[in-house]
Structure 1
Amino acid sequence: MRTFSASGARTGSNRQFFISALFAMLALSAAMPARAQTDPEAAAPSAAPAPQSAADVASQFSNLLGGAEGGVSSADMIAILEDAAKNGQPLALWRLGEMYEKGLGVKQDQARAFSYYSRIANDNANTPPRSIEADIVARSFVKIGDYYRVGLPSAGISANQKQFRALLLHAASYFGNADAQYRVGLLYLDSKELGVNPLQSARWFSLAAHKGQASAQAVLGDMLFNGSGIAAKPVEGLMWLTLAQRATIGSKDEVWVNELATRAMSVATPDQRKAAIDAADMVRQQIPAK
């Protein structure tokens, strides 16, 4: 005989509610990047910037549910996400991958994280680049690419640089993911990867820089300012360095970016510095907020 549990009924009801709420957040996340490009106020710095992607929304919303305000236990959170993942929801698969990759509320399990990320990539490789889930799919390609880069014995994955590059290039070229584009740019500066090709490298850095990827802005700026393998454009280079310097304040990249920018500023002429700062102020309004 089955015993009815009021608390169990509430848990089931809550679970269905939170599943619905979790994926309703996708619509909100889809609108954020567009607003950042068209609304000047959205581009202004703030103490707590709004998440800019479906992946960010997934992480923040599930964290909220697991916090004091949400009242959802870790076990219930896993169940909520697993229910959605069974239906192939990329948002749920992504959050589960993150949780197992980093040990967030569960025992860390890289092989399991790999399986979630792989399912996203395998099932959604050709999803439209401007779709709601595109950011999550692109990031999943980068994640599994990194697993192939170093290997994951617990999942039977051997290091495979060719597969790593193919996955990264798909995220960069098809999905236009800025972080992937930056990393492809780095590969074109490495003789052991795609070979030293500054022109190709600068092209990829430029794509990422125009999306607000600060590391790409810094490296591209340094190349342009110094004419490292490409035609020197001091003002444009200093502009990108200025943007990168502003964007990385308080981040882990602040020191090295600041060194590049300070070095360039110290040898630039007053006219070049002024022109670069003016250009940075103008271009900043055209770059999506991060």
Structure 2
Amino acid sequence: MRQTSPILRLICTALAGVVLSLSVAQAQEEEGLDIGDAPVIMPADPADAGTIERGLDGGGPDNSGDARALDRNARDSAPPVVKGAKVSPDGGKEELQGINIFLRMGTPLPELPLERPFADEPDEAYGAFQRGLFLTAVDKALPRAQLGDPAAQTLLAEIMSRGLGVKRDPKGAAFWYAQAAQGGDPAAMFKYALLMMEGRVVEQDKAKADDYMRRAAEAGNASAQFNWAQILVSENPGVRGLTMAMPFYEKAAEQGIADAQYALAQVYSALKEIPQEKKNRAREWMERAARAGFDTAQLDMGLWQVNGYNGPRDYEKGYRWLSIAAKRGNVVAQNRLAHLYINALGTAPNPVEAAKWYVLSRRAGLKDVGLEDFYLGLNEDQQKQAIDQANRFRRG
């Protein structure tokens, strides 16, 4: 019978964020990188929340841009570029040859690739689980679980742990997770490793938990791959740990784990001794994490775009990403967005909108001397409008 397990995507967050931040910072020191030019792992230090550097061209593939500070480029000195045209070497303009979507309408699409024929028996228990027929799933999974089928044991454990159609039973679920883990089911090994790390339902056992997490990661479980990478980073700070963890971050990122995509973007930025083609993908991974809804990735993606870090500078895209993160409640993004409105970077200048975002970030505890001076320089009516808009945003 086909071995099919439910998808278990519980991420162990205790090791995320701070561990990666500290390890990347140490790696940057070991690699001889300027920490000021390092990517922002965690929200920026409130002490430099309002820093804006004004200088020459702000970096590109050589990472000379600063991912932390907002940076006004000498953009007015650049040659004019019009939409739909590019500037030729002799100063003239050439029309861009793009795809006309209307000309594509009605064009036959390529054939879909052939699917591999399914040769195994369908898993009736898991099929019932997918359709929400949880008692039917229990009836079909229990006999198989008692005979030692790891996939059925994992399915039964998942139903019991979540109380789906049956009384929630954490200890009973732990028993079946343990049985399935011993039988080699990757999802069960991951879940049972978490239970042993927590030490609430089963006895805490770090060595056994690490062994199961590693085996689950090596067997292809995406969540285990991310968590095992985090464990490697926490136990091996600096370049060594990031290098050891990178293959597992890569595998988890490819399987769509946004936390891993974010971590991979930071690792590619921090390490020197990796192929250039990987470094060139740092911004791609950051954007994928941002598109998945990871607000810290949205913040960093906005800062990378504004500062030309790990790729070309694009104020408008930077503004859009910071705006998304700010509207989702990211305090640092709200602070940075205020600076964009003040300095007209990627958006039209708007003092009231700038003050609104500053008020929101200040209420959350992020102090900024520069923005405070700006706010106090507004007239009474503008301050009132900003406070009213901030209050409406909070209520919304």
TM-score range, shorter chain: 0.5 to 0.7
Q: How many residue pairs end up in the alignment?
A: 212
1:275–1:227: structure 2 CA closer, same or farther, 3 Å change rule?
same
> How is 1:264-283 mapped onto 2 (pairs within 5 angstroms)?
264-283=374-393
C-alpha distance in 2 between matches for 1:89 and 1:239: 44
Q: Assess if the C-alpha contact under 8 Å between 2:341 and 2:351 holds in 1.
A: yes
Deviations 1:6-43 (A, max 9, x none): xxxxxxxxxx99xx58x958x9xxxxxxxxxxxxxxxx
Q: CA RMSD in A?
A: 3.6
Which of these two proteins has the greater Rg computed from alpha carbons? Answer: 2
The residue number in structure 1 matching 2:264 is 144
The residue number in structure 2 matching 1:199 is 316
C-alpha distance in 2 between matches for 1:270 and 1:88: 60
1:82–1:188: structure 2 CA closer, same or farther, 3 Å change rule?
closer
Q: CA deviation at 1:236?
A: 1.5
Deviations 1:82-106 (A, max 9, x none): 35435533332222211111228xx
Q: CA deviation at 1:276?
A: 1.6
C-alpha distance in 1 between matches for 2:309 and 2:272: 21
Q: What TM-score, normalized by structure 2, do the two folds share?
A: 0.46
Q: 1:73 aligns with which of 205, 209, 233?
A: 205
C-alpha distance in 2 between matches for 1:62 and 1:263: 49
The residue number in structure 2 matching 1:238 is 355
> How is 1:110-189 mapped onto 2 (pairs within 5 angstroms)?
110-122=242-254, 124-125=255-256, 137-151=257-271, 153=273, 157=275, 160-173=278-291, 175-189=292-306
Deviations 1:230-253 (A, max 9, x none): 312222211111222233x3xxxx
Name whichever of 237-246 and 219-228 sits farther off: 219-228
C-alpha distance in 2 between matches for 1:115 and 1:197: 30
C-alpha distance in 2 between matches for 1:171 and 1:238: 29
C-alpha distance in 1 between matches for 2:279 and 2:225: 25
Q: 2:394 aligns with which of 281, 284, 289?
A: 284
Q: 1:259 aligns with which of 348, 362, 369?
A: 369
Q: Assess if the C-alpha contact under 8 Å between 1:152 and 1:158 holds in 2.
A: no
Q: Assess if the C-alpha contact under 8 Å between 2:317 and 2:346 holds in 1.
A: no
Q: Assess if the C-alpha contact under 8 Å between 1:121 and 1:141 holds in 2.
A: yes
> How is 1:2-17 mapped onto 2 (pairs within 5 angstroms)?
none
Deviations 1:203-240 (A, max 9, x none): 11111111222221111112213434531222221111
1:81–1:229: structure 2 CA closer, same or farther, 3 Å change rule?
closer
Structure 2 alignment gaps of length 5 or more: 1-152, 165-189
1:188 is aligned with what amino acid? Q
C-alpha distance in 2 between matches for 1:262 and 1:70: 52
The residue number in structure 1 matching 2:232 is 100
C-alpha distance in 2 between matches for 1:90 and 1:66: 20
C-alpha distance in 2 between matches for 1:272 and 1:211: 24
1:101–1:192: structure 2 CA closer, same or farther, 3 Å change rule?
closer
* Bigger share in helix: 1
Q: Assess if the C-alpha contact under 8 Å between 2:318 and 2:346 holds in 1.
A: no
Q: What TM-score, normalized by structure 1, do the two folds share?
A: 0.60
Runs (4 or more) in structure 1 with deviation over 6 Å come to: none
Q: Does 1:208 align with 2:328?
A: no
Q: CA deviation at 1:198?
A: 2.5
Q: CA deviation at 1:161?
A: 3.8
1:198–1:138: structure 2 CA closer, same or farther, 3 Å change rule?
same
Q: CA deviation at 1:79?
A: 2.7
The residue number in structure 2 matching 1:224 is 341
Q: Assess if the C-alpha contact under 8 Å between 1:152 and 1:159 holds in 2.
A: no
Q: Assess if the C-alpha contact under 8 Å between 2:280 and 2:310 holds in 1.
A: no
Q: CA deviation at 1:72?
A: 1.1
C-alpha distance in 2 between matches for 1:210 and 1:64: 38
Deviations 1:174-229 (A, max 9, x none): x2332222222222222464444322221111111112222211111122134345
C-alpha distance in 2 between matches for 1:271 and 1:24: 56
Q: CA deviation at 1:110?
A: 2.3
1:83–1:196: structure 2 CA closer, same or farther, 3 Å change rule?
closer
2:358 is aligned with what amino acid? L
1:261–1:65: structure 2 CA closer, same or farther, 3 Å change rule?
same
C-alpha distance in 2 between matches for 1:239 and 1:197: 24
C-alpha distance in 1 between matches for 2:195 and 2:372: 39
